[in-house]
Each structure stands twice: as structure tokens, then as C-alpha cells.
Amino acid sequence: MRLTPADLREINLFKYYRLVRKWACKTYDILDADLELLIYLDCKGRFTRDDFINGTYTYAWDKKRWERLRRDGWIDVWRHRNKTTIKYSVFQVSSKSKRLITRIYNVMLGEEDLPIGPSSKFYKNKSYTDKVYNKAIDDMIKDKDR
């Protein structure tokens, strides 16, 4: 079964996408572009470094992105290269990335709510932005049509 634009509009899939993305980035201390790139790479399954480079063409240039994602545990090696038979390493998004992406999908589909208690990074209301996001999260949770 193929989804149509009317199906996506009917389930309001992207209604709170920006809010959910901002929550995920702040909670998991990851950049917006990195999160969207991880979603792209998750859809690819296993990928090479060239696939990663091709996926970054539409994002701002960040020379350290690859090493940062590897160092922080967002990307794992699926198969290491050896210098004789396997010419390049193959990678996959880590289980940490898969859990984050699954959680984002669950929130966007309304199966899970964003945390609003002390576990939320926005809870302390340190800045005006935190207050605005808390209000938006409250409105999202109260929305019966999401």
C-alpha cells in the first residue's frame, strides 16, 4: 500500500515536526542537520563513507561531522575493511540512533508524549525559548487531533 499526500495530511504527520525535532536535538545534544542526516542514513540501512558524503550535500559544510557522529556513538561500523578482500568499511546507524528515530516517529504519530516533568531539558525554564517550547509541548499534548 502506498501512502498519498492526503493520507499524510489526514494523520497530521508533520504538524508538530519542528517541535519534536527541536526537542530531540536539545534532549540528545545533537545538531538539527546531524539528526536529519541520521534519519536519511537509517532509511538507507547499511552505508559506506561515500553514501554519507552524498547525504551531506544538502547540509551546511561541517568537516568534523563524520568523526563527531562516530565518536558520540551515533554511527557504528558494521563491517571493517581489510586491505586485501574488503576494500572499504560498511557502517550503520547505532542502536542509540535507532531508538531516537523510533521515539521521534512514535511522538509524531501520537503514540507517545514528550516528557514535561523534570526529565525534560526545557523543564527548568531558564530562557524564554524554554518557556515557549514548554507551552508548545503542552499544547501538543492537549491536541486531540494529532
Delimit the domains of the chain by residue range: 5-142
State CA 140 to chain mean position distance: 19
- Cα–Cα dist 89/77, whole Å: 7
Residue 33 has pLDDT above 90, yes or no: yes
Across the range 68-75, mean pLDDT stands at 95
Residue 11 has pLDDT above 90, yes or no: no
- Cα–Cα dist 48/55, whole Å: 11
The confidence band for 28, taking pLDDT boundaries of 50, 70 and 90, is very high
pLDDT in tens, 88-128: 789 999 999 999 999 999 999 889 888 887 777 777 777 88
Provide the 10 A C-beta neighbour count for residue 99. Answer: 11
pLDDT in tens, 44-59: 999 999 999 988 888 8
The reported pTM is 0.85
CATH of 5-142, one of 1.10.3470, 4.10.800, 3.40.30, 1.10.10: 1.10.10
CB under 8 A, 24+ apart: contacts of 90-93: 90/46, 90/47, 90/48, 91/46, 91/47, 91/48, 91/49, 91/52, 92/45, 92/46, 92/47, 93/38, 93/41, 93/42
Residue 63 and residue 69 in contact, taking contact as beta carbons nearer than 8 Å: no
